[in-house]
Amino acid sequence: MLKNHRGSSDIIDKDEVEDHGVAVEAGAESTTHHRLGSARKPMSNIHGTNGYLVPLPSSSELLWVLLTSTGRNTQRIQLYALHGHHYTNAFFAIARQQQQQQQSNSSDGIGKDPFILKRISNEFLFRALLKLCQLERRTHQASNDGDIIKFASGLDVHGSDIDGKSWFYRMV
Amino acid sequence: MEKLQKMLVEVEVQPGQEVADLMRKIKSEV
């Protein structure tokens, strides 16, 4: 199982990737995963937050951000962090397994070959929102830490996927 | 996008390999 490496994770900053934070109340909308029967199906600690993948035309890949979390399996933690806590993120890109062959064989560009993971980034954190840090710490200094529950709800690419800009929408 | 592209490292996933293992490997290389 994946463990978070909070102490050694990179913290991503506005200077690196444009980030438009949107704060919403945590737990405002929650779902339960009750299943028939007594045994709960084991779940991965790696999951995405949105079904939309951003196309990268230059490399014929699809880009998105995964998140990892810990602490979902204890009953006490589930009271306030149903889907785990101490989230960290990583970019990843997937592509068709036999892309070149498929492009030559298929005229509509839609193939049947499975997607495989092509590229993945190091783990990173979103920097905590400044206003929340000020309220909590009564300070005007920017935080050098991340929130324990935060994820990317959207990712846009403006312009070229090589030298254009990427925009994050994040939820707290 | 330039910095984001630089963050992405090419990987070759073996059958049954955990994504977490790949992330750890990248962490050690970066």
The pLDDT score that the predictor gives to residue A145 is: 72
Give me A164's structure tokens: 């254009």
Say how far apart CA B27 and CA A119 lie, in whole Å.
13
Mark yes or no for CB contact A122/B26 under 8 Å: yes
Q: List CB contacts (< 8 A) between B2 and chain A.
A: 162-163
For the cut 70, the answer to whether the pLDDT of residue A88 exceeds it is yes
* pLDDT for residue B13: 84
**In the block, residue with structure tokens 């995963």:** A33
In this structure, what are the phi and psi dihedrals at residue A75, rounded to the nearest 5 degrees?
A: -65, -40
pLDDT in tens, A90-103: 899 999 886 455 45
pLDDT given for residue A37 in this prediction: 53
pLDDT at position A53: 86
Closest residue of B to A67, CA-based?
A: B20
Instruction: Write down the ipTM of this complex.
Output: 0.86
Closest Cβ opposite residue B1 in set A68, A118, A162:
A162
Q: Does A123 touch chain B (CB under 8 A)?
A: yes
**A10 beta partners:** A124
**Over the stretch A50-73, which tens digit does the pLDDT of each residue have?**
667 889 999 999 998 888 776 656
pTM of the model: 0.63
Structure confidence at residue A143 (pLDDT): 60
User: Are the beta carbons of A83 and A110 closer than 8 angstroms?
Assistant: no
Report the mean per-residue pLDDT for chain A: 66
A166 touches chain B (CB under 8 A): yes
Q: How far apart are the first and last CA of chain A?
A: 24
Mean of the pLDDT values across residues A136-161? 72
pLDDT tens track of chain B, all 30 residues? 888 899 899 988 888 888 777 877 777 766
| Cβ–Cβ below 8 Å for B13 and A116 | yes
**Higher-pLDDT residue of A48, A80:** A80
Q: What is the pLDDT of residue A158?
A: 84
Bridge partners (DSSP) of residue A75 are: none
**Residue A16's pLDDT band (cuts 50, 70, 90):** very low
- CA–CA separation, B10 and A160 (whole Å): 20
Buried/exposed code over A44-54 (b: 16+ C-beta within 10 A; e: otherwise): ebbeebeeebb
Give the CA diameter of chain B.
Answer: 31
